[in-house]
Amino acid sequence: MASLGGFVEFFQKGKLNSKQTFRPKKKFEPGTLKYSLHKQAQASLSSGINLRAVVALPQEENLNDWIAVHVVDFFNRINLIYGTVCEYCTEASCPTMSGGQKFEYLWADGVKYKKATPLPAPQYISLLMDWVEAQINDEHVFPVTVDVPFPKSFIPLCKKILTRLFRVFVHVYIHHFDRIVTIGAEAHVNTCYKHFYYFITEFDLVPQKEFEPLKDMTAKICHDSPEPAVNSEPKK
């Protein structure tokens, strides 16, 4: 299994050029609690210990802080992964945001897209990443200091963010995994997926029905899988 500690380094060594980079990496300010939690999580990943153990909430740590740190880290990593395939993900090649023939994802943000709307995959993912970035940069939503409380909507919002980020994994695995294999990134992407999967299932952050498109692959690389979805209706 590839080390998650070397994930970013792998892509920075020529695997991801400037034209492919999706957006700047979100960082934590040194000296803050979230920076300390981020470094703690990264140290655990680099040590090569079991990923299921890595995602568990450390003793005496706040759950919201732990989730906030991981949401930002996963946002950064999934940006890198999509950056490796985005030039192959076009409106011509991917006219819908889908995960195979049975699953299509519709976009709604309550502002420009008030109703669930079908969009080409690159447009959907661009809007998704812009939306996530706006959430994690809002210090009223993702506080950067301990004196600012988390809003009551924090956990539901994180569930929505992680559900939408999971759909990027679905699209990349089903429609662009050949590109991942070509550049030799398969082990790194699989390790990132396992880390993501173990985290969201540890804290029940993504609905079970979302796992259906990758159910077989998840069972193979994570050695377990969620309950199958009951339908394949378009999702928003």
Walk me through the domains of the chain, giving residue ranges and CATH numbers: 4-222 (1.20.140.30)
pLDDT at 34: 45
Are 156 and 207 within 8 A, CB to CB?
A: no
How far does CA 55 lie from the centroid of its chain? Answer: 14
Residues 6+ apart with CB under 8 A from 104: 96, 97, 98, 118, 234, 235
Are 162 and 200 within 8 A, CB to CB?
A: yes
pLDDT at 221: 87
pLDDT in tens, the chain (236 residues): 555 555 555 555 544 443 444 454 555 455 444 444 444 444 444 444 578 888 999 888 899 999 999 999 999 999 999 999 999 999 999 999 999 999 999 999 999 999 999 999 999 999 999 999 999 999 999 988 878 899 999 999 999 999 999 999 999 999 999 999 998 888 889 989 999 999 999 999 999 999 999 999 999 888 744 444 434 445 65
pLDDT at 27: 54
pLDDT at 21: 42
From CA 212, how far away is CA 228, in angstroms rounded?
A: 6
Residues 6+ apart with CB under 8 A from 100: 174, 213
Q: Which residues are annotated as a binding site for Zn(2+)?
A: 89, 94, 171, 176
Instruction: Kindly provide the b/e burial profile for residues 38-61, where b requires at least 16 CB atoms within 10 angstroms of the residue's own CB.
Output: beebeebbeeeeebbebbeeeeee
Q: Which residues are annotated as a binding site?
A: 89, 94, 171, 176
Within 25-123, strands assigned E span 106-107, 117-118
pLDDT at 10: 53
